[in-house]
A = this chain, B = another copy of it.
Amino acid sequence: MAEMKPPRGSGSPRRTPPRAAHPLLPMLLAAPLFDAGSERRPLTPRERQKLANAATRLQLPAGHVIYREGDPAESVFINGGGVIVSYKELPSGQRRVAGFRFYADLFGLAEHGSYVNTTRAVTAVTVFRIPAATIVEILRHDAELHIQFLCKVVDGLREAQRKSIIVARRDAAGRVAMFIDLLRHLGDRKPLPSRIELPMTRADIGSYLNLTAESVSRACRRLSERGILAFDGEGARIVNRRRFEDLVAAL
């Protein structure tokens, strides 16, 4: 009765290759604060070069832990390609995924000198590491870049609030659909893709959505059965856009 469902099993770290627009220079993309209508303004080549001069470029394999919660925060990071997961380890040993960081995302902002989350590479990634003291000095002397930085942090705040909205739904299928829609809108792709990569595990997705991996699995199956999404090896394809968007908007 169940249609052919391509199981996903994979015994090891993921290996989706990162794809970066301009692999050698760090990039930030953030929505502007006050200028209505204006599109995301990317960093200028000069600004990127200024960051690059202060940054160390790292290539890390999937599974690599970039920093741990509580470590002294000596650097901030910019994702140069690939997917990174940010999470908290709870006393019970459980993980709570705070979010995923994609290309041009900023992460590693500290509180009182320590990192608040642990971050781990989901796929192979490129990251730019910038010493904290250096970035403060750069921002102090470059008001324009400072504002871009501020915009990016505000972006992070919006994402956290969007997450709250998603998690507030009670139906697991709706949460998964909204999660996929969230990923779909990342990076400002002009034609919204109909296929979305899901390199993270079901457990990671579930931890982000406040669901168990089992519930995520069941939700995916229901979405398949309803003809809304199709799940293949490491991604999902939107089968019926109408119903998908209706489900996402159904709040």
Contact = CB atoms under 8 A, between A and B. Distances in A.
A96 B160 CA distance: 14
A236 interface: no
A136 B33 CA distance: 10
Contacts of A163: 160, 164
A210 interface: yes
Given A36-B113, A112-B37, A143 B139 contact: yes
B165 A167 contact: no
A140 B132 contact: no
Contacts of A202: none
Contacts of A251: 90-92, 94
Interface stretch (A9-17, A53-61, A77-85, A149-157): A149-157
Contacts of A141: 143
Nearest to A210: B168
Contacts of A116: 158, 161
Interface string A133-145: 1001001110110
A109 B36 contact: no
Interface in A23-49: 31-38
Given A139-B147, A167-B210, A161 B158 contact: no
Interface residues of A, number: 52
B34 A133 contact: yes
Interface of A: 31-38, 72-73, 88, 90-92, 94, 96, 98, 109-114, 116-117, 132-133, 136, 139-141, 143-144, 146-147, 149-150, 153-154, 156-158, 160-161, 163-165, 167-168, 210, 249, 251
Contact of A167 (B133, B144, B167): B167
B210 A136 contact: no
Nearest to A32: B112
28 contacts: A31-B111, A33-B73, A33-B109, A33-B132, A33-B136, A34-B110, A34-B133, A36-B72, A36-B113, A37-B112, A90-B251, A109-B154, A109-B157, A111-B154, A111-B158, A116-B158, A139-B143, A139-B150, A141-B143, A143-B146, A146-B146, A146-B150, A149-B150, A157-B160, A160-B163, A164-B164, A167-B210, A168-B210
Given A34-B133, A161-B116, A251-B90, A96 B154 contact: no
